[in-house]
């Protein structure tokens, strides 16, 4: 598969550039050496992008290389995961009896009874298999763009009214626009069926012309921290990157001090869509959580993406600011050309619940898409300063206390 080989080739280039062995890289990635070999050889494609993203950061890939790696992974996973099964060949239709042909009229090699009919059947079967192969390729290409979860647009009137009135959601309650925008998520096939977006005042059940895949934190750097209301003896060791969501849910962890949210945005229809802006909405501000802090690694790494924003959650009105060395919106997306947007939020003084609003336009239509953890659950980030800090050393067997470092 061409896309899988392109992913593998880029991974091999990054690995070679790093100067590190497969064993050294695998240890830092919390992967087995054999799994890393299979990724770089193109034998296996991970179901989550996080291991490849972490590898690219450890190998100091440029923002452009990381975006290209993610684009190729999205397409490769779609082609590999959605390939339809081969359809059985239809039965041979009954042929009308042919008029008798004098034996003398046949060429010498074909005079044996049954030879000519078998050749005609083989030619018809070859043409039929060719048509089925073309249909299979068309089906595969049709599902390439349908790889992420579709989210519903906000009702533009409610969002505009809230902004005009300067309304801030009350502490402990979700934003009215957040609740209004939620409905059962469409299936991938339904998400990719609508080629147009929702104009202002239109039926809110109409899907947006974009889909968004959300990756919150996931240890994009070695310095990610979580606050957990448990002693070290009751907190499992750091899991592999693919198991982060389960680990966080199991211990009730909340990102500490810093949270990076990655959005992969892709068009769903034939029209290109322009992403024009991104907003931060705070639903709750409280005192920092008085819990223990668990650090996922030693030291920090990483970088910024092509479309990256920094957010100060302690500001009276948090506003996304384009990160140094990055570019912001607007950016155009389509089915075959997704965009990756990173939002890096930080708090040093509070426990903050928040979500994002992604503004889009296509043709004469425009709208706003609410982005959160799903089902109306906002992102949450807590300050950690002054709390007990623990780390799990490489090769260690338990969490160990460490002096706090901001």
Euclidean distance between CA atoms 236 and 392, whole angstroms: 10
pLDDT > 50? residue 271: yes
Predicted confidence (pLDDT) per residue in 45-54, tens digit: 888 888 888 8
Minimum mean pLDDT range among 130-134, 160-164, 198-202, 365-369? 198-202
Tell me what the mean pLDDT of segment 42-63 comes to: 85
Report the pLDDT value the prediction gives residue 106, as an integer from 0 to 100. 44
Amino acid 64: pLDDT: 85
Q: What is the mean pLDDT of residues 112-134?
A: 47
Q: Could you give the domains of the chain?
A: 2-81 (1.10.260.40), 156-402 (no CATH)
Looking at per-residue confidence, does 220 or 187 come out higher? 220
Which pLDDT value is given to residue 363?
Answer: 87
pLDDT for the residue numbered 406: 53
User: What is the rounded distance in angstroms from the CA atom of residue 105 to the CA atom of residue 234?
Assistant: 90
Q: How confident is the model at residue 131 (pLDDT cuts 50, 70, 90)?
A: very low
Q: Computed over its alpha carbons, how large is the radius of gyration of the chain?
A: 27
CA 391, distance to chain mean position in Å, is 28
pLDDT tops 60 at residue 132? no
Q: Are 82 and 146 in contact (CB under 8 A)?
A: yes
Query: Which secondary structure element, helix H or strand E, spans residue 158, and what is its range?
Result: helix 156-165
Instruction: Of 8-17, 41-50, 192-201, 267-276, give the lowest mean pLDDT range.
Output: 192-201
**Per-residue CA distances from 22 to 36, 113, 157, 327 (Å):** 7, 64, 54, 33
Average pLDDT over residues 366-393: 93
The pTM assigned to this predicted structure is 0.55
401, pLDDT greater than 90: yes
Within 8 A by CB and 6+ apart from 165, the residues are none
Residue 158, judged by CB atoms within 10 A of its CB (0-12, 13-18, 19+), counts as middle
Asked whether residue 210 carries a pLDDT value surpassing 80, the answer given is yes
Asked if 49 contacts 68 with a C-beta cutoff of 8 angstroms, the reply is: no
pLDDT of 211 above 70: yes
| Cβ–Cβ under 8 Å, residues 361 and 209 | no
Cβ-count burial 327-356 (b if 16+ within 10 Å, e if not): ebbebebbbeebbbbbbbbbbeebbbbbbb
Q: What confidence score (pLDDT) does residue 193 get? A: 30
Other residues' Cβ atoms within 10 Å of the Cβ of residue 86? 10
Task: Give just the sign of the alpha carbon dihedral 328, 331, 337, 340.
Answer: positive
For 75, the token pair is 């397409």
- Selection from 262, 255, 273 nearest residue 323 by Cα: 262
For residue 39, the tally of other CB atoms under 10 A from its CB is: 23
* Residue 382 clears pLDDT 70, i.e. is over it: yes
Under the banding of pLDDT at 50, 70 and 90, the label for residue 30 is confident
Q: What's the mean pLDDT when you consider all of the chain?
A: 72
Which of 112 and 210 is assigned the larger pLDDT? 210
Which phi and psi (to 5°) does residue 400 adopt?
-125, 140
Cβ-proximal residues to 64 (8 Å cutoff; 6+ apart), any chain = 306
The full DSSP string for 252-263 is T-EEBSEEEEEE
| Whether residue 91 has pLDDT greater than 80 | no
Residue 209 has pLDDT above 70, yes or no: yes
Task: Please state, in angstroms and rounded to a whole number, the distance separating the CA atoms of residues 290 and 374.
Answer: 26
Q: What is the pLDDT of residues 325-354, one digit of tens each?
A: 888 899 999 988 899 999 999 999 999 999
- The pLDDT confidence band at residue 166, using thresholds 50, 70 and 90, is very low
- pLDDT-derived band of residue 89, with 50, 70 and 90 as boundaries? very low
Task: Give the Å distances, CA to CA, from 29 to 45, 56, 197.
Answer: 16, 11, 40
Q: What are phi and psi of 276, to 5 degrees?
A: -105, -20
**How is residue 216 written in tokens?**
């919150």
Structure confidence at residue 104 as a pLDDT band (50, 70, 90) = very low
Q: Is the pLDDT of residue 175 over 70?
A: no
């Amino acid at each position: 598969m061409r896309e899988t080989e392109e992913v593998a080739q880029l991974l091999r280039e990054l690995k070679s550039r790093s100067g590190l062995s497969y064993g050294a890289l695998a240890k830092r990635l919390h992967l087995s050496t054999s799994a890393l070999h299979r990724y770089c050889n193109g034998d296996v494609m991970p179901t989550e992008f996080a291991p490849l993203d972490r590898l690219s950061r450890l190998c100091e890939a440029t923002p452009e290389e990381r975006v290209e790696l993610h684009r190729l992974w999205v397409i490769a996973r779609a082609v590999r995961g959605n390939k339809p099964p081969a359809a059985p060949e239809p039965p041979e239709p009954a042929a009308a009896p042919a008029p008798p042909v004098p034996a003398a009229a046949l060429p010498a090699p074909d005079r044996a009874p049954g030879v000519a009919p078998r050749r005609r059947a083989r030619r018809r079967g070859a043409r039929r298999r060719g048509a089925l192969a073309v249909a299979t390729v068309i089906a595969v290409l049709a599902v390439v763009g349908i790889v992420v979860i579709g989210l519903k647009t906000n009702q533009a009137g409610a969002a505009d009214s809230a902004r005009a009135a300067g309304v801030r959601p009350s502490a402990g309650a979700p934003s009215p626009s957040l609740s209004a925008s939620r409905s059962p998520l469409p299936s991938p096939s339904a998400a990719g069926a609508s080629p147009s977006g929702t104009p202002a005042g239109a039926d809110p059940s109409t899907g947006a012309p974009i889909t968004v895949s959300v990756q919150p934190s996931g240890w994009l750097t070695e310095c990610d921290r979580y606050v957990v209301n448990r002693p070290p003896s009751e907190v499992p060791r750091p899991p592999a990157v693919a198991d982060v969501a389960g680990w966080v849910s199991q211990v009730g962890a909340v990102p500490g001090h810093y949270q990076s949210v990655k959005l992969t945005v892709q068009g769903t229809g034939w029209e290109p869509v322009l992403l024009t802006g991104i907003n931060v909405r705070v639903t709750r501000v409280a005192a920092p959580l008085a819990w223990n802090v668990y650090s996922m690694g030693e030291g920090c790494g990483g970088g910024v993406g092509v479309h990256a924003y920094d957010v100060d959650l302690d500001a009276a009105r948090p506003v996304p600011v384009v990160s140094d060395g990055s570019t912001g919106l607007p950016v155009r997306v389509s089915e075959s050309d997704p965009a990756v947007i990173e939002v890096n939020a930080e708090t040093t003084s509070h426990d903050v619940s928040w979500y994002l609003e992604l503004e889009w336009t296509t043709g004469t239509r425009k709208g706003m898409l609410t982005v959160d953890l799903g089902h109306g659950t906002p992102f949450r980030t807590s300050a950690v300063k002054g709390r007990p800090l623990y780390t799990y050393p490489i090769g260690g067997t338990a969490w160990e206390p460490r002096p706090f470092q901001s």
